[in-house]
Amino acid sequence: MTQIDIVDPWIKETDLIPCDYPVPDNALDKLRYRVFEDFHSRRKYFLSSGLKFGGDFLAYPGDPNATHSEFIIVCHDNSRSINPPYIHSQIRLATTVKKILLLATFDESKEKLKYKVMNSLQLTKKQRLNARTESHVNDTEMCEPNENNEISTAVDASAIMQCSTK
Q: How far apart are CA 128 and CA 38, in angstroms?
A: 32
**Residue 30 appears among annotated catalytic residues:** no
Provide the whole-model pTM: 0.64
Q: Residue 3's pLDDT is what?
A: 65
What's the full length of the chain, in residues?
A: 166
Interval 37-61: pLDDT, tens: 999 989 999 999 999 999 999 999 9
Whether 2 is in a domain gets the answer no
Catalytic residue among 33, 44, 52, 68: 68
Phi, psi of 156 (to 5 degrees): -75, 130
- Among 34, 25, 154, 24, smallest CA distance to 104 is for 34
Domain count, the chain: 1
Q: Which residue has the higher pLDDT, 72 or 133?
A: 72
* Domain around 154: 25-159
**Residue 68 appears among annotated catalytic residues:** yes
Catalytic residue among 60, 76, 88, 115: 60
What CATH number is attached to the domain comprising 110?
Answer: 3.40.1350.10
**Residue 60 appears among annotated catalytic residues:** yes
Whether 164 is in a domain gets the answer no
The answer to whether the CB of 143 falls within 8 A of the CB of 152 is: yes
Interval 107-165: pLDDT, tens: 888 888 999 888 765 555 555 555 444 333 334 344 444 444 344 443 322 222 233 33
Q: How far apart are CA 82 and CA 43, in angstroms?
A: 27
Catalytic residue among 88, 99, 114, 116: 99
Whether 8 is in a domain gets the answer no
Q: Residue 165's pLDDT is what?
A: 38
Q: Residue 10's pLDDT is what?
A: 79
Whether 166 is in a domain gets the answer no
Whether 17 is in a domain gets the answer no
The answer to whether the CB of 60 falls within 8 A of the CB of 90 is: no
Whether 19 is in a domain gets the answer no
Q: Residue 121's pLDDT is what?
A: 59
Whether 60 is in a domain gets the answer yes
Whether 43 is in a domain gets the answer yes
